[in-house]
Amino acid sequence: MTRSRKIRRAALIAGVALATALFAAELHRRQGLYWYPVDQDYAYDFDPRQAAVLPVRIERNTVRLPEHEGRCGTTFLRLQLSSRLTGWWFEPCIEVLGGGSSSKQCFERGARGTRYVLLPGTGRSSPPREIELRGHHLDWGDHDAAIMLLEAPELSGKRVLVLAPHPDDAEIAAFGLYSTHESYVVTMTAGGYVDGLYDDAALRSDVRTWDSLAVPLWGGVPAGRTVNLGYLTNSLQEFHAAALASAKPARPGSAVGRYRKGAVAALLGGRPAEANWSSVVADLAAVLSAVRPDFVVAPHPALDSAPDHQYTTAALLEALEQLNDTCTTLLLYTNHHVHAEHYPFGPSDSTVTLPPWFGGARFAGVYSHPLDSQAQVSKLFALEAMHDLRAPPERVTTGPAGVLAQRLRQATQLVLRDPVGDYSYFRRAVRPNEIFFVYGPADRGAVADYVNQHLNR
């Protein structure tokens, strides 16, 4: 063998080895988007009073829905599926067709086991009788499955209070919902912290506080129905821990007044705030008394991993208990899913279905709120108006050197953008639907039990 042939062979072997290593590394990175085994069955414990389970069979990619009296509610197909080999690289999806409509719902790369698919016809008295399923990088054989009919709330003509732990949480989770009802938006914190994008935490807090009051106007919420309570970001857990220990929290109370803005007089009775847990609960009790909502939209403490989100709902439960409330229904969401920040999976045109969950909490009903194309565009503009969801503003530079440096920086950011692990809320939140977990007054104990077991320790 000549020397040149040996060199070519060595180069070929090195190239194949490098390509294999890069492929394996990228495959590993894609699996790192999920903080759990992707071949694990989803395990939802639904309250039997709120969920009807009807057996069905999937045959030749078709499901025939059984007869059911009454309103359909929110309907899921519980089935067994497995990713094809290509489904470890690409996101596997199911296309659902029925009743003249179609939707695409995506799952984890490598997904295998029990999953839930949202069916068309939610809320109808006469849903489609036959559903067709088409898999993309997914397989399922003919097998016995189940239809789950979950109670959906009647929101027509009702008053909605949305609790946002930080500015933009209300828009991410519920812009479509709150922009179509008589709604109030209460933001718990100013949302200021330094993460490399902004060097000035106070400036960031000022900007985000303004956002929390201004952006709901785009959704039709008058200024008199929005307020920012003004607490500091990441303070709620600290306040709660200090209350349990009968100690004073470390943060000073003076900062609360600076960011406490909006309809403070109308919704809080003008009460001043202190940097402690009892003040947070008292604020929410005052808002509940002023608004008297039929529904309160808030984070789900089991599904959402952010401490401010979890303790927002913990404070809400205490406020409801103080008021002896027996009327308010909770609609709970997750913006930072505890098992996968990448959730909801799939592109922005795909439908949101149930998130990964493997037991440990009782669920009641589920409500899927639809957004038509115009509502999705409005939500997109609402999110884009939130300063924290877009790149921070840059000064306009002049002169050839300044312009070149700015263009090079923008080009570098574009090249480094991750097209796979896209955590952007413009992908995750602007969808054909918004998902909420419904807890009526009789069901709220399940949420309180979770808070007592996992947060009140």
Domain spans in the chain, listed from the N-terminal domain onward: 51-150, 159-454
Classify residue 269 by its DSSP letter: T
Distance (Å, rounded) from C-alpha 74 to C-alpha 148?
8
Which region among 154-158, 249-253, 307-311 has the lowest average model confidence (pLDDT)?
Answer: 249-253
Q: Which residues pair with 298 in a beta bridge?
A: 332
What pLDDT band is residue 198 in, cutting at 50, 70 and 90?
A: low
**Stretch (H or E) spanning 28:** helix 3-31
Task: Point out the least confidently predicted range of 75-79, 148-152, 205-209.
Answer: 148-152
Which residues make Cβ contacts (< 8 Å) with residue 12, sequence separation at least 6? none
Q: In the prediction, which pLDDT does 253 show?
A: 46
Query: Which of 430, 412, 291, 260 lies closest to 347 in space, CA to CA?
Result: 430
Helix (H, G, I), strand (E, B) or coil at 389: helix
Residue 11 pLDDT: 83
Residue 402 has pLDDT above 90, yes or no: no
Look up residue 179 and give its DSSP letter.
T
pLDDT at residue 69 tops 90: no
pLDDT of residue 120: 83
- Taking all residues of the chain, what is their mean pLDDT, rounded to a whole number? 90
Which range, 72-76, 183-187, 414-418, 453-457, is most confident?
183-187
DSSP-assigned letter for residue 94: E
Question: What's the Cα-to-Cα distance from 421 to each of 27, 130, 179, 258, rounded to whole Å?
Answer: 12, 35, 30, 37
Q: What is the mean pLDDT of residues 24-33?
A: 84
* Residues 359, 434: Cα–Cα separation, whole Å: 22
Residue 85 confidence (pLDDT) above 70: yes
Mean pLDDT value of segment 400-428 = 78
The mean pLDDT of 349-370, rounded to a whole number, is 94
Helices (H), 215-346: 236-244, 254-259, 264-268, 277-291, 307-322
Q: Which residues pair with 52 in a beta bridge?
A: 149
Asked whether residue 189 carries a pLDDT value surpassing 90, the answer given is yes
Rg of the Cα atoms in the chain: 24
Q: Check whether 353 has a pLDDT greater than 90.
A: yes
Tell me the C-alpha to C-alpha distance, in Å, between residue 261 and each of 139, 188, 208, 209.
53, 11, 12, 8
Mean pLDDT lowest among 361-375, 413-427, 432-446 = 413-427
What pairs with residue 363 in β-bridges?
46
312's tokens: 């927002």
Q: What is the pLDDT of residue 254?
A: 47
Q: Is it the case that residue 255 has pLDDT exceeding 70? A: no
Q: Is the pLDDT of residue 141 over 80?
A: yes
Provide the token pair at 303. 């599904």
The pairing of beta strand 101-106 with beta strand 62-64: unpaired
Furthest CA-CA distance within the chain: 90
At residue 295, does pLDDT exceed 90?
yes
CB 186 within 8 A of CB 299: no
With 70 as the cut, is the pLDDT of residue 323 above it? Answer: yes
- Mean pLDDT value across residues 332-344: 96
The residues near 75 (Cβ < 8 Å, ≥ 6 apart) are: 118, 119, 121, 122, 127, 147, 148, 149, 150
The CA–CA distances, whole Å, from 448 to 165, 310, 322, 360 equal: 18, 12, 14, 13
Q: How confident is the model at residue 343 (pLDDT cuts 50, 70, 90)?
A: very high
Q: How far apart are CA 208 and CA 394, in angstroms?
A: 17
Query: Is CATH 3.40.50.300 correct for 51-150?
Result: no
- Of 405, 389, 408, the closest CA to residue 397 belongs to 405
Please report, as a single letter, which amino acid is at residue 180.
T
Question: Which whole number is the average pLDDT over 36-65?
Answer: 92
Other C-beta atoms within 10 Å of 278: how many? 12
What percentage of the chain has pLDDT greater than the value 70? Answer: 93
Lowest-pLDDT range, 127-136, 262-271, 273-282? 127-136
pLDDT of residue 203: 85
What's the pLDDT at 72? 65
Q: Which CATH class is domain 159-454?
A: alpha beta
Give the residue-averaged pLDDT of 1-6.
75
Contact 172, 425 (CB under 8 A): yes
Average pLDDT score over residue span 339-358: 96
Angle between helices 277-291 and 236-244 (to 10 degrees): 110
pLDDT of 146-175, one tens digit each? 999 987 889 999 999 999 999 999 999 999
Please state which of the ranges 71-75, 185-189, 380-384, 428-432 shows the lowest mean pLDDT. Answer: 71-75
The set of residues, in sequence order, having a beta carbon less than 8 Å from that of 410 and lying 6+ positions away, is: none
